[in-house]
Each structure stands twice: as C-alpha cells, then as structure tokens.
Amino acid sequence: MLETAVALIKDTGKKLNLSDEQIADLIAPDTEHNFEIELKSGKKFQAYRVQHSNKLGPYKGGIRFHPNVDLNEVRALATLMSFKTAVAGLPMGGGKGGVVVNPKELTKAELEELSRKYVRGLHQHIGPDKDVPAPDVNTNAQIIDWMVDEFEQLTGDKSKASFTGKSIDNGGSLGRDAATGRGGVIVLRELLNKLSINKPITYAVQGWGNVGSFFALVAKAEHDDWKLVAATDSSGGVYNKTGFSAKSLDEYKKSGGKLAGFKIGQKISNEDLIGLDVDVLVLAALEDAVTKDNAGQVRAKIILELANGPVSYDAYKTLSAVGKTVVPDILANAGGVIVSYLEWLQNKNEEHWPEDKVNRALENYLVKATDQVYEASKKQNMTLTEAAFAVATARLVV
C-alpha cells in the first residue's frame, strides 16, 4: 500500500511540474512514534503513531489493533489521510496509529489496559489541536472512550475533542457509523450524474462490514434503481442476478451468519466477485484486493474504492488503460473523516447536532469535493485518481 501511495504522489507531482524536493516533502512524514506497551501480565506489544502532515490543521487518523500492523502500513495510511483531508477541504492533517495485537486474544481488562497505555505513550504528542485519533480496524467507541478518559486524566482536557469516534453519550457524533458508506453513495451518485449515467445500475460489494453494509443500505433507501447483485465477507458470499435485499443480508450477517451460507443465490468466492459482470464494483474489504494478477478479470466499468488501497498501483494502471474508472479511496471513503471532523467541531463548540444536520454537512463537503476532482480530471486530462491527488497536492504544497 505504501508503494502505491508513493507512486501516485510521484506521478501527480510530475504532472504538476513539482520539483523532486517538493515531491519528497509531500511523501515524508513529519514524525514517527514507535514504542512498546507492556501489560501487567507481562504481555508486550509494539505500538506506532505516524504524524504525516499538519500543514492544513491537526493530524487526523485512526488507530488499528491488528496482528499484521507494521510501520510501513501505518506510514501509508497516514500519508493517504493527509491527502484525504486535503481533497475533502478539511482543516485537518493526516496521521495513523496502530498496535501489533490480536484483540480477540485479550480479556476486556487487558484491552482496556492496552488502550490506556497507548495514550500514556503518546499523550504529549496528541490532543485537540495537535493530533486527533479515531477508531479503525478492531477499535471502536468503547476503546476510544477509554482513551479519551485516560487523556483527560493525564492532561486535564475536558473538551473530549482529543479523539473522535466516541460513543454518543461521551461526545460522539450522530451519523458517524454510517458516514463512510453513506459518503460512498454520495460520491457514486455525483459521478454517475456527471457521466450522464441515469439508467438502473447493478453493483457488487466485496466486504460486508460496517462500510459495505451501510453503503448498500443507504443505496437502497436513496436509489431504488441501484441493484445489489452480489456480496461477500471473509467467508465468501453469494450472487443473484435478480438482486438481493440489503436489509435481509445485513440482518443475516448481524445474526451471526456468514454470507457464504446465505440461502438465496449462487455461492461465490471473493475472487469470483472481482470478475462479475456488473456496472459498479464496490471494494470495501482490505487493501490490494485487485492486483496485476486479477485486474484483467474486472468487468465492471466503475470501481469504487471504499477500503483503503484496495486497488494496487499496477492494477490501477491496467484498469485505467482499458478505460475503466477507478474512484480513488481518498475521495470515495472520505465520509468517515469528514464526520470525524464534524464531531471534533461539535466538541470544540460544545454542541451536539441532530443527525440530519450532520448528513447535510457531509453531503455538502462530498458534493463539492467530487465536483472539484471531476472538473480537474477533465481540465487536465487526468484519471479521477490523478485528479484527486492533484487537488489535494495543490493544497499541501507550500
């Protein structure tokens, strides 16, 4: 993922006639924090926080707890976040954090201890006006609430603006859970309008988690002519050319079922889903889902990157060369960080907005960003990915 992000920044920088020094400055992180957390039980875990750029405002980005976390991954995600906040027009920078841990192997008490000690290792470097972390893979509102409490105890800050993604009762924002999926629907809608595609469309979702499920649920509520014909989770999934009810799939999944066991439709693998004949391929699972090895199988005309880095650099080049449209992650999944920013804003102003106000603000940011990226792509003869990085780069180069 880091290689893809760096390659895209270099490509865009050269197209914009930036100097090698300017491109290097865009890529290099400001600061990297690398430390070890030891629990009372003696268990030890490596922890990271990469602060990539604060040119536009405080660093912003999630914290993931996963056994495969490494420094390169955190660097890549921090870099992408700087460009994501920039393309969205937010007064925030980019950062990312992680701990090398499988949280399923910890007791609740150990998980709380780990969360609090992560904050102890970083509290001098984070805060409402320095760096505002959020949840990511395997972290949630409960973990963030523990972190906010620890930060408050260590610093005396009572604004709760030190972190976003908190529980609603603890200063979290309404609309946050659905924000990334809802944002993907807004971006796709705007793009279809600009491409004058007003016929019914079919789409497939790889990754029926929080993001993929909310994308499908919001799409059904707002665009009844968008037909969900396939969905997968880590087990695989199902395909049905006549379509699925997003609500039925979601209820089945929430009941503990694996999509491969859903009673309706033909069983498919995640690899099968990549090659389905659909209008839109929604990638909401993990990075590098489409690589040079399977890019040739993609039949969809539009690939929506709802995960971070789901299309490798080589695959992006292959898809673009044959006229397919890749909607880049820094635009397509920016809904999450936009509502995180709105949560931070509410905390700073001691406000709590109704959900419809949050959703209207989210829509305004994404409609504007999509319009700017699309216009840049036409004016400068760039792909949407290049245009998104160009819009962000113009705001980050100083």
Among all residues, which ones are annotated catalytic?
96
Residue 344 DSSP SS3: helix
Distance CA 34, CA 37 (A): 10
Instruction: Strand 31-38: give its sheet, edge to edge.
Output: 31-38, 44-53, 94-100, 59-66, 131-135
**Which residue shows structure tokens 């400055």?**
25
Rounding to the nearest 10 degrees, give the CA dihedral for residues 304, 307, 313, 315: -50
Distance CA 185, CA 221 (A): 11
Identify which of 235, 280, 273, 226 has the alpha carbon closest to the alpha carbon of residue 253. 235
Distance CA 373, CA 79 (A): 19
Q: Are 123 and 33 in contact (CB under 8 A)?
A: no
Rounding to the nearest 10 degrees, give the CA dihedral for residues 258, 208, 92, 35: 30
251, containing H or E segment: helix 246-254
- DSSP secondary structure string for all residues of 106-125: S-HHHHHHHHHHHHHHHTTT
Cβ density class 251-276: b for 16+ within 10 Å, e for less: ebbeeeeebbebeebeebebebbbbb
Beta strands in the chain (DSSP E): 31-38, 44-53, 59-66, 94-100, 131-135, 201-206, 226-233, 236-239, 266-268, 280-283, 302-305, 325-327
Identify which of 71, 43, 131 has the alpha carbon closest to the alpha carbon of residue 340. 131
Q: Is the dihedral of CA 60, 66, 70, 73 positive or negative?
A: negative
Side chain identity at residue 281, one-letter code: L
Q: Is the dihedral of CA 342, 347, 348, 351 positive or negative?
A: positive
Tokens read off for 129: 């006006």
The DSSP secondary-structure symbol of 305 reads E
